[in-house]
Every structure is written in structure tokens, then in C-alpha cells.
């Protein structure tokens, strides 16, 4: 299906809400831009996309997504540099992951051309919503859900693909304190942990709420069988520097294939650090804290970017990480990533997708 960006129908807002936004105090996800993009799937095909004012939708309370959970999403970012160039970071890779999530949830594929053109068109319409202050960006939230109204347990025949955008600042206001989870499970091998489906997040709320009541910010999920190996942290993948090596849990069906995770592993080469993608046991972390060989821990993700972990709670013990300085790997790689995305460093990997040159 060929969709030309210029041919997407646009209904503009009567009055923009832009002047009510405090761009110096954005937070994460609090503001949705003026417009959204909506595409319907019916009779086995995606219909014409439409850009319309952001607002409520007319949907049935019997729609299948609400009852049986066919709902998946992506999270991406768009940037505008000082020269006014607008780019999206690695949308093709996000699209590949979306396809995997859709397949796992028995939902129809969104063609790459439709995905990219819809993103570009929406960003063009709300280009003034892209923040330019350091550490901020326009967060892009494409999602697909089953909109067919029926109570029978079945794969839906009707869906909606919607894109919202939101000007955002940093996801975490300060370094995070995480708790290694030993009771609850986010995902088991063979389940949906690798898919970005809504239920993975809903299921994580209760254990995370309990952890927050105990004074932690996030949960560090472990494998479903023995709670012996680290998986991820729900809203981000995790990385450690142990014995001077960058170490991250290897991908499996129970953890998300993070685009930032991949980008950092690629950049590790030019930043001259040895990397290992492998199983990381809780016992190894405990030992590394005992010996003092673990020097860094951080979360990585589109929203989190590179977020410092200050403390890891393991089996009742708070293990503090050393302070981070400009020579730390996490600050060096964060800087490099930001420079590439803002066009300040050559984009040798072809990660920036041009929306407006």
C-alpha cells in the first residue's frame, strides 16, 4: 500500500494548545501534542490514514482489546537540531520490533511504508511541539489495538493504528534505586516478554508498587524459573560495568530487544570497552559488589535513554554503586548518543531518519 506523506488527510485544530506548555518543565508523558494520526483496519486491510485533533474516540466498551488484551505499542523519539533539521531515531528498527509484537499477539502487520509515512506526516504537522532544550525530545507513541466489538474470545478482525506524540524531558529525575525481584515474575520464556504488549506493563504494576512502598524506584526482574538471572527492568534494559567490561543480559523470549540497548552495544566499540551479552546471575552481581569489581549499573531505553542506577537491593542488602564521573562509560555513551541524534556527531550507522532536512 503506497501512502504518500503529502496525501494524508489533515484536519487541524481550531486553536493550538502549544502556548500553555511549559517547555522548561516537561516531565514525561504529561502533554500530548495537538494532533494524532488514526488508521482503521477492516475487511483485511489498512484504510486511509487521517491526522485529526487529539481527542477522545468513539469506541465500544465491548471492544476486544479491553477484554482479551490485543494491544501493542512502540516508543520512539524525534529531535530537532539548531539548524531546524528534524529526525526520528531508528524508526526502521522500531518497526521491525512492532512487527514481532503484532505477530505474537495475532494482529495484522503494519507495513513499513505506512508506518514511516504516518510518523513523518504527523511530526510535520506538530513540528512546533518538538522541544529543543538539552535532554528533551518529542516522544512518539504508535500503538495498535483490537477495536472490534465482540465478547467471544477470538482474534479480532478490526483494529486501530494510532500515533500520539508528546514533548518530553528526562524519564527519571534522579538516579534510581532498584530491587532484585525474587517473588513476582514479569515474563517467562515462551511468553510475551519480548513483545511490547500492554499486558506486560499492567502485570508489572503490582510488584513495582510494592517495591516503591519499600522505598525502591523500580524492580529488576529475574528469570521466571529460579529468580537467579537478571532479565530487565520493565521500562528499560539494564547494563553493568564489571571488571571494566560492559555486560548486559542476552536477549531471550522474556526480555525486550531494546533499540537503545542495541545502539549502546554498537557504540561500545568506538568507546573502546569490551562487551558481553550473556546471562548475568544475581550471584555474580553479589560477588562483584563484595569484591568491588562492579563500577557501574544503568538502565537503557528510549524513554530512559541512559539512566544511572545508584543502588541494587539483593536478598535484603542495599548495594551502592560508586559515584559517576565524566569518564564513566554511561556518561560517555549518553553524550555520544545525544550528539548523534542532534547531528553533532557523524551518523555513521545511518540511525537518523530524516523528516525535514
Under the rule (CB under 6 A), what is the footprint of ligand COI? 75, 235, 301-303
d(CA 40, CA 158): 7
CB of 352 to ligand COI, least distance (A): 18
70, 150 contact by CB (below 8 A): no
238 or 303, CB closer to ligand COI?
Answer: 303
Which residue in the shown chain puts its C-beta closest to ligand COI? 75
Q: What are phi and psi of 160, to 5 degrees?
A: -125, 140
CB of 322 to ligand COI, least distance (A): 26
d(CA 21, CA 168): 11
Q: What angle do CA 140, 144, 150 make, to 5 degrees?
A: 150
Instruction: Write out the E strands in the chain.
Output: 9-10, 35-42, 45-46, 50-53, 71-73, 76-80, 86-89, 137-146, 159-168, 176-180, 218-220, 237-242, 245-249, 275-278, 294-301, 305-314, 317-320, 352-356
259 or 294, CB closer to ligand COI?
Answer: 259
75 or 169, CB closer to ligand COI?
Answer: 75
CB of 229 to ligand COI, least distance (A): 22
Cβ atoms < 10 Å from Cβ of 346: 8
Helix (H) or strand (E) holding 139: strand 137-146
36 or 303, CB closer to ligand COI?
Answer: 303
CB of 287 to ligand COI, least distance (A): 30
46 or 172, CB closer to ligand COI?
Answer: 172
CB of 294 to ligand COI, least distance (A): 24
CB of 142 to ligand COI, least distance (A): 11
Cβ atoms < 10 Å from Cβ of 16: 16
Helix (H) or strand (E) holding 3: none
51 or 235, CB closer to ligand COI?
Answer: 235
141 or 356, CB closer to ligand COI?
Answer: 141
23 or 201, CB closer to ligand COI?
Answer: 201
Structure letter (DSSP) for residue 19: G
CB of 201 to ligand COI, least distance (A): 6
User: With 0-12 CB in 10 A as exposed, 13-18 as middle and 19+ as buried, what is 22?
Assistant: exposed
CB of 58 to ligand COI, least distance (A): 26
294 or 303, CB closer to ligand COI?
Answer: 303
> Which among 246, 232, 162, 245 is positioned nearest to 193, based on CA atoms?
232
* DSSP letters for 113-126: HHHHHHHHHHHHHT
In the block, residue with C-alpha cell 532498584: 178
Question: Which residues 6+ apart lie within 8 Å of 116 measured at CB?
Answer: 91, 92, 95, 353
CB of 303 to ligand COI, least distance (A): 3
Amino acid at each position: 500500500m503506497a501512502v504518500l506523506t503529502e496525501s494524508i488527510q489533515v484536519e487541524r485544530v481550531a486553536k493550538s494548545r502549544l502556548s500553555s506548555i511549559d517547555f522548561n518543565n516537561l516531565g514525561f508523558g504529561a502533554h500530548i501534542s495537538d494532533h494524532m494520526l488514526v488508521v482503521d483496519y477492516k475487511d483485511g486491510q489498512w484504510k486511509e490514514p487521517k491526522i485529526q485533533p487529539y481527542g477522545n474516540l468513539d469506541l465500544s466498551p465491548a471492544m476486544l482489546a479491553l477484554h482479551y488484551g490485543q494491544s501493542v505499542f512502540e516508543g520512539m523519539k524525534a529531535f530537532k537540531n539548531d539548524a531546524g533539521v528534524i529526525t526520528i531515531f531508528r524508526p526502521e528498527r522500531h518497526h521491525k520490533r512492532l512487527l514481532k509484537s503484532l505477530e505474537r499477539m495475532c494482529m495484522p502487520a503494519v507495513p513499513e511504508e505506512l508506518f514511516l509515512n504516518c510518523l513523518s506526516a504527523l511530526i510535520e504537522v506538530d513540528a512546533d511541539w518538538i522541544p529543543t532544550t538539552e535532554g528533551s525530545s518529542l516522544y512518539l507513541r504508535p500503538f495498535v489495538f483490537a477495536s472490534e466489538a465482540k465478547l467471544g474470545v477470538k482474534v479480532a478482525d478490526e483494529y486501530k493504528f494510532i500515533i500520539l506524540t508528546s514533548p518530553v524531558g528526562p524519564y527519571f529525575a534522579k538516579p534510581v534505586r532498584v530491587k532484585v525481584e525474587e517473588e513476582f515474575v514479569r515474563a517467562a520464556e515462551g511468553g510475551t516478554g519480548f513483545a511490547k504488549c500492554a499486558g506486560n506493563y499492567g502485570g508489572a504494576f503490582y510488584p513495582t508498587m510494592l517495591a516503591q512502598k519499600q522505598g525502591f524506584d523500580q524492580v529488576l526482574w529475574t528469570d521466571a524459573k529460579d529468580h537467579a538471572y537478571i532479565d530487565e527492568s520493565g521500562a528499560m534494559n539494564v547494563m553493568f560495568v564489571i571488571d571494566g567490561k560492559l555486560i548486559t543480559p542476552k536477549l531471550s523470549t522474556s526480555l525486550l530487544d531494546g533499540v537503545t540497548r542495541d545502539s549502546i552495544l554498537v557504540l561500545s566499540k568506538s568507546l573502546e570497552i569490551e562487551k558481553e551479552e550473556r546471562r548475568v546471575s544475581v550471584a555474580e552481581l553479589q560477588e562483584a559488589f563484595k569484591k568491588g569489581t562492579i563500577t557501574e549499573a544503568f538502565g537503557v531505553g528510549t524513554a530512559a535513554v541512559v539512566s544511572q542506577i545508584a543502588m541494587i537491593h539483593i536478598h535484603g542488602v542495599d548495594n551502592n554503586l560508586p559515584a559517576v564521573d565524566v569518564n564513566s562509560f554511561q556518561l560517555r555513551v549518553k553524550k555520544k548518543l545525544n550528539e548523534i541524534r542532534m547531528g553533532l556527531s557523524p551518523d555513521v550507522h545511518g540511525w537518523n531518519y530524516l523528516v525535514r532536512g
